[in-house]
Amino acid sequence: MKLTIPDYIQAIDPYVPGKPLEELERESGITDSIKLASNENPLGPSPMALAAIQRCLSTLHRYPDGAAHHLTGKIARFNGVSAANVVVGNGSDDIIALLVRALVRPGSRVIVPRPSFLMYAITAAAAGAVVDAVPLDPSLAMDLDAMARCVTADTRLIFLCNPNNPTGTVVTRSDFDRFMDQLPDTVVVVVDEAYIEFARHSDCLKTGGPQDVIRPQVTLRTFSKAYGLAGLRVGYGIMPAALAEVLNRVRQPFNVSAVAQAAAAAALDDQAFVRRTIALVHRELEVLYSGLGRLGLNYFKTEANFFLIEVGMPAQTLFDDLLRQGVIVRSMKAYGFPTCIRINVGLEAENRRFLQALETVLTGTGRSS
């Protein structure tokens, strides 16, 4: 084929997701492994969501509701906004792509923190934007002042991840309001709150309420983490109605499946399940912190359901060694932390097994030659 591919597409390093458990087991010849690599819910999906999926299976020959009226209404009521402020997507990644498609042109500038969720920069670069990646500050928090200084007349979008992936740090409400006051109203600020349910910081920013839909601001949320529906790919954005109307012009007409809509609506009602998930994560974080302290390893406390561990060796090597122990973690080399791994909180037995496998590897009895 004689394809003409723009240079800005050729220059993109593709996003490399964590491999499915089954594929890693097949490749490595291991069984009974545990996966702590993708920030998934250790309790699985909401039971109410599973029941809703079962109820809708007999209608899978019908197209889904293209406007997701029922789910959109539930989300709006849950957040105290109008349905006109909500756009539902095939995961929050879908909303990111819609925002870029609607607002960015080749040569536009998009500001992202570095490191953070890689799809902000990838999606912007795919549209021909200039990506201004602003390093985190020494505490690994997003440097809002530096991001504000990067704004030019060509800046269209700023992405913030709160809590940030992969560092688990948060933005406070006071710092955010001061940041917003510095920006022109031609810039849309996107606050990705994929992990907001897990945050415990007393002044952690939480957006998406009525006060946040009257300025150029978008809140992203997902059902993949606390709600346990990562496999269904459903998320949403809360934004000014005028911007939501633009995104609805450019989105696919059936971008969220009927199964995903039914499951997400039921999961939103199952707040008891969300509370159980949060309690487990908070309890087991302390167990993991204590275990890592006994091993003499440095780690970074988090406001999310994952955290970084400094392992003092190439992260990919440790990944491979742990894999041989049947434990799957995430190397942070691609995020600029070549000697760090990231793990998410698992069940009690999974966390205990991780600590045991890590000790085995670090003491040399489980290391590759």
Contact 324, 368 (CB under 8 A): yes
- pLDDT tens digit sequence for 100-111: 999 999 999 999
Of 281, 303, 305, whose CA–CA distance to 39 is shortest? 305
The CATH number of the domain holding residue 279 is 3.90.1150.10
Q: Which residue has the tokens 């792509």?
A: 97
N-to-C CA span, the chain: 44
The reply to whether 246 falls in a domain is: yes
Both 193 and 304 in a single domain? no
Both 28 and 84 in a single domain? no
Query: What pLDDT score does 114 carry?
Result: 96
Measured CA to CA, the distance from residue 237 to residue 213 in angstroms comes to 11
Listed residues 227, 249, 269: the one ending a domain: 269
Contact 191, 218 (CB under 8 A): yes
Q: Which helix (H) or strand (E) holds 177?
A: helix 173-181
Contact 307, 342 (CB under 8 A): yes
Which backbone phi and psi does 331 adopt, to 5 degrees?
-70, 140
- pLDDT tens digit sequence for 143-182: 999 999 999 999 999 999 999 999 999 999 999 999 999 9
Query: What pLDDT score does 365 carry?
Result: 58
The reply to whether 40 falls in a domain is: yes
Q: Which residue has the tokens 């909180």?
A: 345
- pLDDT tens digit sequence for 197-237: 999 999 999 999 999 999 999 999 999 999 999 999 999 99
The reply to whether 8 falls in a domain is: no
CA 49 distance to own-chain centroid: 20
The reply to whether 181 falls in a domain is: yes
Both 195 and 255 in a single domain? yes
Both 222 and 253 in a single domain? yes
Residue 330: pLDDT band with limits 50, 70, 90: very high
Listed residues 245, 269, 293: the one ending a domain: 269
Both 142 and 104 in a single domain? yes
Distant-in-sequence, close-in-space partners of 348: CB < 8 Å, separation ≥ 6: 284, 287
The reply to whether 3 falls in a domain is: no
At position 292, the amino acid (one-letter code) is L
pTM: 0.93
Q: How many domains does the chain have?
A: 2
Of 337, 341, 306, whose CA–CA distance to 320 is shortest? 341
Both 200 and 120 in a single domain? yes
Both 149 and 81 in a single domain? yes
User: What's the CA angle centered on 72, arms 206 and 122, to 5 degrees?
Assistant: 60
By residue count, the chain amounts to 369
Tokens representing residue 343 in the block: 């793990």
Measured CA to CA, the distance from residue 224 to residue 119 in angstroms comes to 16
Both 106 and 176 in a single domain? yes
- pLDDT tens digit sequence for 234-272: 999 999 999 999 999 999 999 999 999 999 999 999 999
Query: What pLDDT score does 369 carry?
Result: 39
Residue 368: pLDDT band with limits 50, 70, 90: very low
- Side by side, the strands of the sheet bearing 340-344 are 298-299, 306-310, 340-344, 330-331
Both 265 and 328 in a single domain? no
Both 204 and 101 in a single domain? yes
Query: What pLDDT score does 1 carry?
Result: 76
Please give the residue range of the domain that contains residue 112.
47-269
Both 190 and 318 in a single domain? no
Measured CA to CA, the distance from residue 343 to residue 254 in angstroms comes to 34
Listed residues 269, 291, 314: the one ending a domain: 269
The reply to whether 1 falls in a domain is: no
The CATH number of the domain holding residue 220 is 3.40.640.10
The reply to whether 12 falls in a domain is: no
On average, the pLDDT of the chain sits at: 94
Both 65 and 214 in a single domain? yes
Tokens representing residue 179 in the block: 């940041």
The reply to whether 241 falls in a domain is: yes
pLDDT of residue 313 exceeding 50, the answer is yes
